[in-house]
Amino acid sequence: MIRLPISVTILTKNSQKYLKEVLEALASFDEVLICDTGSEDNTLLIAQEFPNAVIYKRSFIGFGPTHNIASSLARNDWILSVDSDEVVTGELAKEIADLKLAAGHVYSFPRHNEYRGKWIKWCGWHPDRQIRLFNRAETRFTDAQVHESIIIEHLKHVHLQAPLRHYSYDKVADFLTKMQSYSTLFATQYQGRKHSSFGKALSHGSFSFFKSYILKRGFLGGQEGFEISFYNAATAFYKYLKLAEANRQLELEGLEKCGDGQTKKLAASKPLHQATPNQAPPSGEHKQK
């Protein structure tokens, strides 16, 4: 079987749930590079079943930087980046196979996001076009801890039509887990670089709900539309609330360091011994009359 000269990169951590289906859909690609960041389930055992899969173990240092590490380990310059819960449909695999990959180009495709088995077309979840096929010699991911993207300056963006299938969430717990992770990464990334406060967190959260539920017509999605809109609002709220907390912590640490520095400076400038009027000078010293 002649495989496409493209390396597919996937970041994994406890990703056993969909990984078999994800890898089965990638049989036509030359290499599937698994960059695992600490799985404790059957992720690696599943990956080992596929002859075109290569496994590397690396520390997670943020989504953008870790994606770039994965790309650097690939044996092909053309990279297709997918997540461990994203399935390349047969139509998309064929469309990629029919491409004449050209220098100076990046390629995107729509993503079908599913929640509880339903394809969600509201809340800004559709068409959700993703740029994921690129030449690593020409571009890379941004260094963002979260919400990373391909740098496309000076490159031509080609729109493919076949979709990528994304198993977004199965249950509320999935929402909450991702919200905690992403909001913490956001606060880490912007600590000391972006202002935040409770009021700012509240305004971001409120506008996020309005945008998702009203402007992006989440109300047409019934219960799922409301839940997704509320999740988007909660994520925005906690991102900025955690950032405000992180900024306060940074300020306190700065004050403590400043205080320690002043204490050390005063200690250094103070004489080792200073005689008082009723105290004899140290041995070897004599008062001048």
Domain ranges of the chain: 4-168, 171-266
pLDDT over 60 at 50, yes or no: yes
Q: Give the integer Cα–Cα distance in Å for 143 and 15.
A: 23
Average pLDDT over residues 266-271: 58
**What is the total residue count of the chain?**
289
Does the domain at residues 4-168 carry the CATH identifier 3.90.550.10? Answer: yes
Prior bond of 127 cis (ω within 30°): yes
Residue 272: predicted pLDDT:
46
- Its pTM stands at 0.85
Instruction: Give 39: exposed, middle or buried? Use CB within 10 Å, 0-12, 13-18, 19+.
Output: buried
pLDDT over 90 at 81, yes or no: yes
Residue 254: predicted pLDDT:
84
pLDDT over 60 at 69, yes or no: yes
For residue range 247-266, what is the model confidence (pLDDT) as tens digits?
999 999 888 877 666 655 65
Average pLDDT over residues 177-197: 96
